[in-house]
């Protein structure tokens, strides 16, 4: 079976590489020549634990090219794994999906199954089918399948190889049979349904998780007011099997390429049909407000940040990724800069991408010690292991005034109490030992 994957971002590249783990030979297509050059050299253009190792292990089963016409023409299965970024109005930008679909239609020389792996609004697969069938050569039969992904950045390889389900929205038994040939070796349960339902499963799943995060953040904010501890609350909730303990970590909101985009896209789609998803609308608003929680906490200690030396630990939206999309640091650092602060940052993985946005405005440090030294306040935006593993005495020893504003609850309150620091976190009591 000749498999081709269009797009070498998180969805496309992870899908392609993981398919080789079960014995498939895969061709990866991308218009970005620099990406293809990196991939041919055995380097992944994205930071994702375990991905590059499998790329190298299965290098003889992977081909990378910018020649889409040649790649598509004799393919048995083509996965569309390109981006669907958010438009200004919150809707999904589908131009890349439709662009690939047109190229496929113009290139195909045999029957093929086209699989839409990208996250797309309900009804998109039907539009892809119409587009391809209107353009493909006479006599060539093309089946369109919806096969949404459920991977998380930082654990994408594991999430693909050991997924909890494979969702297939198939129009015919022939398409289902082909997709089973692709996936049977993964030994993962299937959910077989129609295309609109498959598309909705993706959005409903992601938006439910965003709701869960927003809910626990709301509870955390109330815990601070009434003197409760959100971690104990979350533990008590999570032990209920009907609720579960996942996505109950209070913090400064969700980010990344999925939750922000998918909540807005589903909200926009509902509005398009004159229906309002009130819960999704609330999650979007809660998340926007939660991202600025640390600035509000810091204002208790400094009315202005002008001329203050500020330490920032963590820039990415979550650990184990270099992705900055919707990262809370991008909401907070501009405020600190506008106030006239001197900012030192430490995130060895996120630094490269951050320098594209702020090449000169920040001091990029090579160690936590350098970052903390002689600072007036420290913000924690990402719960990297190197942040969680700091000896708390280092804040006291290195900072001019050890005020720690922790947006990810990296440290136990009992441990912090032992040191002469001010410690603000989310949904827990403030420690003030200064």
pLDDT digits (tens, 9 = 90+) for 374-383: 999 999 999 9
Note whether 186 and 231 are same-domain residues. Answer: no
Distance CA 97, CA 82 (A): 6
Q: Which value, in Å, is the radius of gyration of the alpha carbons in the chain?
A: 24
Whether the CA torsion 140, 62, 158, 263 is positive or negative: it is negative
Q: Which secondary-structure segment (H or E) carries 11? A: helix 10-20
DSSP letter for 86, please. Answer: B
Note whether 231 and 96 are same-domain residues. Answer: no
Note whether 393 and 334 are same-domain residues. Answer: yes
Tokens linked to 93: 């930008």
Instruction: Give pLDDT, residue 116.
Output: 98
Helices (H) and strands (E) counted in the chain, each on its own, are 19, 15
Instruction: Give pLDDT, residue 164.
Output: 96
Distance CA 266, CA 280 (A): 8
Arithmetic mean of pLDDT, 39-47: 95
Percent of the chain with pLDDT over 90: 99
Note whether 301 and 272 are same-domain residues. Answer: no
Note whether 168 and 212 are same-domain residues. Answer: no
Q: What is the mean pLDDT of the chain?
A: 97
Percent of the chain with pLDDT over 70: 100
- Point out which residues pair with 78 in neighbouring strands: 4, 114
Tokens linked to 178: 């082909």
Instruction: Give pLDDT, residue 330.
Output: 97
Tokens linked to 252: 């400064």
Q: What confidence tier does 386 reach under pLDDT thresholds 50, 70, 90?
A: very high
Note whether 79 and 170 are same-domain residues. Answer: yes
Q: What confidence tier does 361 reach under pLDDT thresholds 50, 70, 90?
A: very high
Q: What confidence tier does 37 reach under pLDDT thresholds 50, 70, 90?
A: very high
Active site residue 258: yes
End-to-end CA distance of the chain: 67
Instruction: Give pLDDT, residue 257.
Output: 85
Residue 334 has pLDDT above 90, yes or no: yes
Whether the Cβ atoms of residue 28 and residue 103 lie closer than 8 Å to each other: no
Note whether 277 and 337 are same-domain residues. Answer: no
Range of the domain at 177: 3-193
Note whether 36 and 149 are same-domain residues. Answer: yes
For the entire predicted model, the pTM comes to 0.93
Arithmetic mean of pLDDT, 322-340: 96
Residue after which a domain boundary falls, among 275, 290, 305: 290
Tokens linked to 383: 């719960």
Distance CA 17, CA 394 (A): 41
Note whether 222 and 112 are same-domain residues. Answer: no
Count of domains for the chain: 3
CATH of the domain at 279: 1.10.1040.10
Residue keyed to tokens 């299937």: 190
Q: What confidence tier does 271 reach under pLDDT thresholds 50, 70, 90?
A: very high
- Point out which residues pair with 63 in neighbouring strands: 27
Note whether 312 and 419 are same-domain residues. Answer: yes
- Kindly give the pairing relationship between strand 403-406 and strand 422-424: parallel
Whether the Cβ atoms of residue 343 and residue 362 lie closer than 8 Å to each other: yes
Q: Which of 112, 258, 378, 410 is catalytic?
A: 258
Residue after which a domain boundary falls, among 233, 257, 290: 290
Q: What's the number of CA atoms in the CB half-sphere (13 Å) around residue 288?
A: 9
Q: Which residues of 60-87 are buried (b: 16+ CB within 10 A; e: fewer)?
A: ebbbbeeebeebbeebebbbbbbbbebe
- Point out which residues pair with 142 in neighbouring strands: 112
Residue 27: phi and psi, rounded to 5, are: -105, 130
Q: What confidence tier does 114 reach under pLDDT thresholds 50, 70, 90?
A: very high
Instruction: Give pLDDT, residue 30.
Output: 97
Whether the Cβ atoms of residue 427 and residue 290 lie closer than 8 Å to each other: no
Neighbours of 273 (CB within 10 A): 8
Residue after which a domain boundary falls, among 193, 211, 230: 193
CATH of the domain at 32: 3.40.50.720
User: How does pLDDT run across 390-422, given as a tens digit for each residue?
Assistant: 999 999 999 999 999 999 999 999 999 999 999
Note whether 183 and 210 are same-domain residues. Answer: no
Note whether 315 and 418 are same-domain residues. Answer: yes
CA angle at residue 195 from 171 to 189, to 5 degrees? Answer: 90
């Amino acid at each position: 079976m000749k498999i081709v994957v269009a797009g070498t971002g998180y969805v496309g590249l992870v899908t392609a590489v993981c398919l080789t783990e079960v014995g498939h030979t895969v061709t990866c297509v991308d218009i970005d020549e620099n990406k293809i050059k990196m991939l041919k050299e055995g380097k992944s253009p994205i930071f994702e634990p375990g991905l590059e190792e499998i790329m190298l292990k299965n290098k003889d089963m992977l081909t990378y090219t910018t020649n889409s016409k040649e790649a598509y023409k004799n393919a048995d299965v083509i996965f569309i794994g390109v981006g669907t970024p958010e438009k200004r109005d919150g809707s999904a930008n589908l131009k890349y999906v439709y662009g690939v679909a047109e190229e496929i239609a113009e290139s195909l020389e045999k029957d093929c199954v086209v699989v839409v792996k990208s996250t797309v609004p309900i009804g998109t697969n039907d539009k892809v089918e119409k587009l391809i069938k209107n353009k493909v050569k006479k006599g060539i039969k093309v089946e369109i399948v919806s096969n949404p992904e459920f991977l998380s950045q930082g654990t994408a390889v594991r999430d693909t190889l050991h997924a909890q389900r494979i969702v297939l929205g198939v129009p015919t038994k022939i398409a289902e049979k082909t997709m089973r040939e692709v996936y049977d070796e993964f030994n993962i349960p299937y959910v077989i349904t129609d295309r609109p339902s498959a598309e909705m499963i993706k959005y409903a799943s992601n938006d439910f998780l965003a709701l869960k995060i927003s809910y626990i953040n709301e509870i955390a904010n109330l815990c601070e007011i009434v003197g409760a501890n959100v971690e104990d609350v979350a533990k008590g909730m999570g032990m209920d099997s009907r609720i579960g303990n996942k996505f109950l970590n209070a913090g400064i909101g969700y980010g990344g390429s999925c939750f922000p985009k998918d909540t807005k896209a589903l909200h926009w789609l509902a509005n398009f049909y004159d229906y309002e998803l009130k819960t999704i609308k609330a999650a979007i608003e809660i998340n926007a407000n939660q991202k600025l929680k640390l600035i509000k906490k810091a204002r208790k200690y400094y009315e202005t940040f002008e001329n203050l030396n500020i330490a920032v630990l963590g820039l990415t939206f979550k650990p184990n990724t270099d992705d900055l999309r919707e990262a809370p640091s991008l909401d907070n650092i501009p405020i600190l800069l506008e106030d006239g602060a001197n900012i030192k940052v430490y995130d060895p993985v996120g630094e490269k991408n951050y320098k594209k946005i702020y090449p000169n405005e920040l001091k990029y440090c090579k160690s936590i010690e350098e970052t903390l030294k002689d600072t007036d306040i420290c913000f924690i935006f990402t719960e990297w292991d190197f942040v969680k593993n700091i000896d708390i005495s280092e804040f006291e020893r290195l900072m001019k005034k050890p005020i720690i504003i922790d947006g990810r609850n990296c440290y136990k309150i009992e441990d912090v109490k032992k040191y002469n620091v001010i410690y603000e976190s989310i949904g827990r009591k403030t420690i003030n030992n200064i």
